[in-house]
């Protein structure tokens, strides 16, 4: 038996330590929490994506009484970005969340598994690492690429005959 350890590089910043560009995209993600439609979970999530063409697109979670029919803020944002700007890569994705009291989460909130997989595909499609900013009112996490959120990830290469 061999035991392995996976280490993930993670930078932790206060809001004030973020660059002006990163503060702007985090602010856009925070603002999008107010566009959330979350009458069931009362958990409002916003996301903002900075594209390599300089455009920023945003999205928020949209719930439905039939839960599987809703969509997370991350996927709303990424799908919109790719539908409207199919040739642009996503450089940065910022995510913020508020609880039912209307307060931003103190700790950064991490994307669900489905969103992580879509983030990975979006990064692959764009051909460059997608930096991730996870906002919390006490501090913000920065991850340099999606694989840092999704180690041992499943990709198209896993479906190739030579990979089995």
pLDDT per residue as tens digits for the range 30-86 = 999 999 999 999 999 999 999 999 999 999 999 999 988 999 999 999 999 999 999
* CATH for 31: 3.40.140.10
What contacts 85, CB < 8 A, 6 or more positions away?
A: 51, 53, 55, 57
**Is residue 5 in some structural domain?**
no
The residue that leads in pLDDT, 68 or 140, is 140
Q: What phi, psi does 121 have (nearest 5°)? A: -65, -40
Per-residue pLDDT for 163 more than 60? no
In a domain, 2, yes or no: no
Look at residue 58 and tell me if it is in a domain.
yes
Q: What is the pTM of this model?
A: 0.93
Length of the chain in terms of residues written: 164
- pLDDT in the model for residue 134: 98
Count of other CB atoms within 10 angstroms of residue 8: 11
**pLDDT band, residue 27 (cuts 50/70/90):** very high
Residue 38 lies in a domain: yes
Domain residues for 92? Answer: 11-147
Two tokens at 99? 């609880």
Specify the pLDDT at position 22.
Answer: 98
Q: Is residue 95 part of a domain?
A: yes
Q: Count the domains in the chain.
A: 1
Residues recognised as catalytic: 74
CA gap 114, 104 in Å, rounded:
23
Confidence of residue 164 (pLDDT cuts 50, 70, 90): low
Q: What is the pLDDT of residues 75-118, one digit of tens each?
A: 999 999 999 999 999 999 999 999 989 999 999 999 999 999 99
Asked whether residue 4 is domain-assigned, the answer is: no
How confident is the prediction for the chain on average, in pLDDT?
95
Q: Tell me if 94 is assigned to some domain.
A: yes
* 162 part of a folded domain: no
Task: Please name the residue that has the structure tokens 């991730």.
Answer: 132
């Amino acid at each position: 038996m061999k035991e392995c350890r996976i280490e993930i590089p993670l930078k932790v910043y206060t809001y004030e330590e973020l660059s002006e560009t990163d503060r702007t995209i985090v602010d856009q993600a925070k603002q999008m929490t107010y566009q959330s439609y979350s009458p069931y979970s009362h958990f409002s999530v916003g996301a903002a994506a900075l594209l390599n063409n300089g455009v920023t697109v945003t999205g928020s979670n949209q719930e439905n009484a039939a839960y599987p029919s809703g969509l997370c803020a991350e996927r709303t944002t990424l799908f919109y970005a790719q539908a409207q700007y199919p040739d642009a890569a996503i450089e940065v994705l910022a995510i913020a969340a508020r609880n039912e009291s209307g307060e931003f989460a103190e700790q950064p909130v991490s994307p669900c598994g489905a969103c992580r997989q879509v983030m990975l595909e979006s990064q692959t499609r764009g051909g460059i690492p997608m930096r991730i900013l996870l906002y919390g009112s006490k501090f913000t996490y920065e991850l340099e690429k999606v694989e840092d959120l999704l180690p041992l990830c499943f990709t198209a290469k896993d479906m190739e005959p030579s990979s089995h």
